[in-house]
Structure 1
Amino acid sequence: MSEDDIRNLDRRGPALVYMAVADDVARRITSGELKSGDKIPGELDMTETYGIARMTVARAVRELRERGLVQTVRGKGTFVL
């Protein structure tokens, strides 16, 4: 997802915003932009990057955990597996 795609994300449309964010981070992982052991951006950074609510970011991160792509360590952050 490019910056234009992020800015043009239809937050009121039928697509689930958290899924679009999770798909974008997953794409960055599979492309090698984010490697195993890398920390993904924090929730506050992602709210600014994607222009979405913190709860939506939290749901996207949960989706990434469910996909087995990341692991969250309390007090440390979320890391690529």
Structure 2
Amino acid sequence: MTEGDDIRNLDRRGPELVYAAVADAVAAQIASGELKSGDRIPGELEMAATYGIARMTVARAVRELRERGLVQTVRGKGTFVL
């Protein structure tokens, strides 16, 4: 089972927020070294397709990652791991 499947199977009426689950999944990739400083994370549309969620939910997850200080978005370029 992949991370995308974990999020697709999330009880959307349960206590865990979908955007937080996506942010946690990306944060785990950063912590494990799978994503390194300077790496570009997938775009919103790609992540939405991967996780089977709305693009706006992905946008909220990316905002959460920025608030955590894990990524930086450069307009027109993408979002990169700090």
CA distance in 1: counterparts of 2:48 and 2:4, whole angstroms: 14
Alignment-derived partner of residue 46 in structure 1 = 47
Structure 1 gap ranges (5+): none
Query: Does the 8 A contact of 2:8 with 2:51 survive in 1?
Result: yes
Alignment-derived partner of residue 56 in structure 1 = 57
- Deviating above 4 A after TM superposition, structure 1's stretches of 4 or more consecutive aligned residues are none
Deviates more, 1:20-29 or 1:9-18: 9-18
1:3: Cα distance to partner?
Answer: 4.2
Helix, strand or coil at the partner of 1:79: strand
| TM-score for the superposition, normalised by structure 1 | 0.92
| TM-score for the superposition, normalised by structure 2 | 0.91
State the percentage of identical aligned residues: 84
Change in 2 beyond 3 A, CA 1:57/1:20: same
Alignment-derived partner of residue 37 in structure 2 = 36
For the aligned residue pairs, the C-alpha RMSD in angstroms reads 1.3
